[in-house]
Each structure stands twice: as C-alpha cells, then as structure tokens.
C-alpha cells in the first residue's frame, strides 16, 4: 500500500524519481511498470496490475451514462505506460505535465493502490482547502473512523 508524501524536482529531460519506499512496494508486489494518466488535477500512476483491475471493472459496466463516457475519453487519452529506469525515475509526458500544471517541483503522494504526482503549488492549495475548516475535518475524520 502506497502512503506518504515526498517532494522532488523534475530533471531537464522531464524525469522524476519515484520514492525508494514506493519502488520497494512495486518490486515486492508488482512489476516495475506504471501506467500514468490524468485524474483530479494531478498525474496518477497505477501499478500495471492495478490498471488491469481498473480496466476489468470498467468493462463490467453494462452501460455508461454520457458523463461517464466523456470522462473516460479524457481519462484514457492520457494513458502512458512508463517503466521505471535503473535510477528509479519515470518520464513524465508533456501532455500530462501540462494538464496537471507541473513545471519543475512536484509532490508525490501515496494513495493506497496508486501514486499521485502533483504540481507543488497545486498540492499546497489542496492542503489549504482540506484543512481550512476544522469542523469539516472533524466530520470527515469521524466518517472515516480515523
């Protein structure tokens, strides 16, 4: 399970290091391939096997409404298979970087079965919004049983 937050800078060739803790999980539980795409304003990276599970779940849906089909067009349009190189880096496609407003500095966040790559500025704004209302935070903590 991926968890934690790590800050990195993208190199001049548009590569970013995957945290060593995440690489250990990938190596122990998955192969070293990631599927990258757009989601929620960031780049999301799924281990290849988790991506296969997502595909199977989508294919099980008998009918999708128009909004779901429109979203899937966007979601699938960004799909790129990205192996992790010998130095633990992945190449971030320019189209995904543009969609996520990523320029140089990123925050890499473990989110259970996936990894999210955020523009540092976008991440900082998300944290401000997520923590700005203590009563709302308390409600969410209670709802999640934390």
Res 22 pLDDT > 90: yes
Is 0.75 surpassed by the pTM of this model? yes
pLDDT of residue 84: 93
Res 62 pLDDT > 80: no
With tokens 């539980």, the residue in question is 29
Could you tell me which of 60, 45, 52 has the C-alpha nearest to residue 113?
Answer: 45
Could you tell me which of 117, 97, 99 has the C-alpha nearest to residue 107?
Answer: 117
Residue 52: HSE in the Cβ half-sphere, 13 Å Cα cutoff:
6
pLDDT of residue 32: 84
Tokens of 21: 């803790």
Alpha helices in the chain (DSSP H): 20-29, 48-60, 66-77, 94-99, 120-131, 134-144
Q: Is 46 exposed, middle or buried (0-12, 13-18, 19+ CB in 10 A)?
A: buried
Top-level CATH class of 2-119?
alpha beta
pLDDT of residue 24: 95
pLDDT of residue 144: 84
pLDDT of residue 45: 97
pLDDT of residue 140: 86
Q: What is the mean pLDDT of the chain?
A: 93
pLDDT 10s digits, 25-44: 999 999 888 999 999 999 99
Domain map of the chain by residue range?
2-119
Least confident of 79-83, 103-107, 130-134: 130-134
Res 103 pLDDT > 80: yes
Residue 40 near residue 63, CB atoms below 8 Å? no
With tokens 């190596």, the residue in question is 27
C-alpha–C-alpha distance, residues 37 and 48, integer Å? 12
pLDDT 10s digits, 69-96: 999 999 999 999 999 999 999 999 999 9
């Amino acid at each position: 399970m991926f968890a934690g937050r790590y800050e990195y800078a993208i190199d001049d060739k548009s590569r970013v290091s995957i945290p060593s803790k995440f690489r250990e999980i990938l190596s122990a539980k998955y192969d070293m391939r990631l599927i990258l795409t757009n989601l929620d304003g960031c780049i999301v990276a799924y281990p290849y096997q988790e991506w296969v599970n997502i595909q199977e779940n989508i294919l099980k849906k008998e009918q999708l409404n128009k909004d779901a089909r429109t979203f899937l067009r966007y979601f699938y349009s960004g799909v790129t298979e990205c192996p992790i190189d010998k130095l633990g880096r992945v190449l971030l496609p320019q189209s995904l970087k543009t969609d996520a407003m990523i320029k140089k500095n990123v925050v890499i966040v473990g989110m259970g079965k996936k990894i999210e790559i955020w523009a540092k500025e976008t991440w900082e704004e998300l944290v401000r919004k997520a923590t700005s209302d203590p009563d709302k935070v308390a409600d969410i903590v209670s709802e999640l049983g934390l």
